[in-house]
């Protein structure tokens, strides 16, 4: 009996991918340069990376929140505001803007091992947009989970680049 209770208490923890922290919020905007300027003016955030990710149809800027000169590691305190401008109206972010306007597009959580995280989710009733990791911002490996199973929130898992 006590063995059953112990198993019941520990199993969900062992089976779930451990989220280390909120890695970033993705914000859809019509004009990337204007959005960057606004966030810099409001909060003095530093742009640490600016990329065109053609595969995702976006031009993006990553602005670091916290510890601009401190260490960045998977479980560490740094997090990012990711500003996303669509490369065209037929991209996912372009369609999002047409439907909902500017605003929060997705949230990303850091994990230590993206492949292990996807393997732990695979047997559960959560739809994976990416069944295998793909390349994300700043050298990270990422995978998206479907919003319909997570309260309408497009959710990204991020294994930051080893640094």
Residues that bind a copy of itself (CB under 8 A): 12-13, 15-22, 24-25, 27-29, 35, 38-45, 65-67, 75-79, 83, 100-107, 109, 121, 124-126, 145, 147, 149-153
* Rounded least distance, CB 50 to a copy of itself, Å: 16
What does the alpha-carbon distance between residue 57 and residue 84 come to, in Å, rounded to a whole number? 9
Min CB(25)–a copy of itself separation in Å? 5
Q: Which is nearer to a copy of itself, 97 or 133 (CB)?
A: 97
In angstroms, give the least distance from the CB of 122 to a copy of itself. 12
- In the complex with a copy of itself, which residue's Cβ is closer, 97 or 141? 97
Q: How far is the CB of 160 from a copy of itself (least distance, A)?
A: 13
Closest by CA position to 158, among listed 96, 93, 103, 114: 114
- Residue whose pair of structure tokens reads 């640094």 in the numeric block: 163
Among residues 55 and 59, whose Cβ is nearest to a copy of itself? Answer: 59
Please, which residues bridge with residue 103 across strands? 28
Q: How far apart are CA 121 and CA 139, in angstroms?
A: 23
CB of 16 to a copy of itself, least distance (A): 3
Residues sharing a CB contact under 8 Å with residue 42, sequence separation 6 or more, in sequence order: none
Distance, in Å, from the CA atom of 102 to the CA atom of 87, rounded to the nearest integer, reads: 15
Pick 1 or 49: Cβ nearer a copy of itself: 49
Burial annotation 4-17 (CB, 10 A radius, 16+ → b, else e):
eeeeeeeeeeeeeb
Whichever of 24 and 141 has its CB closer to a copy of itself, that residue is 24
């Amino acid at each position: 009996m006590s063995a059953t209770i112990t198993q019941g208490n520990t199993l969900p923890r062992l089976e779930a991918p451990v989220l280390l922290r909120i890695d970033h919020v993705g914000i859809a905007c019509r004009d990337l340069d204007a959005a960057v300027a606004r966030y810099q003016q409001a909060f003095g955030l530093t742009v640490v990376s600016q990329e065109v990710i053609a595969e995702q149809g976006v031009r993006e800027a990553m602005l670091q929140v916290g510890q601009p000169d401190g260490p960045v590691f998977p479980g560490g305190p740094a997090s990012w505001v990711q500003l996303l401008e669509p490369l065209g109206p037929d991209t996912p972010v372009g369609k999002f803007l047409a439907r909902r306007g500017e605003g929060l597009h997705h949230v990303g959580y850091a994990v230590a091992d993206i492949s292990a995280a996807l393997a732990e989710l695979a047997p559960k009733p959560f739809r994976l947009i990416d069944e295998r990791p793909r390349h994300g911002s700043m050298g990270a490996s990422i995978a998206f989970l479907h919003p319909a199973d997570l309260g309408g929130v497009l959710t990204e898992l991020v294994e930051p680049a080893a640094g």
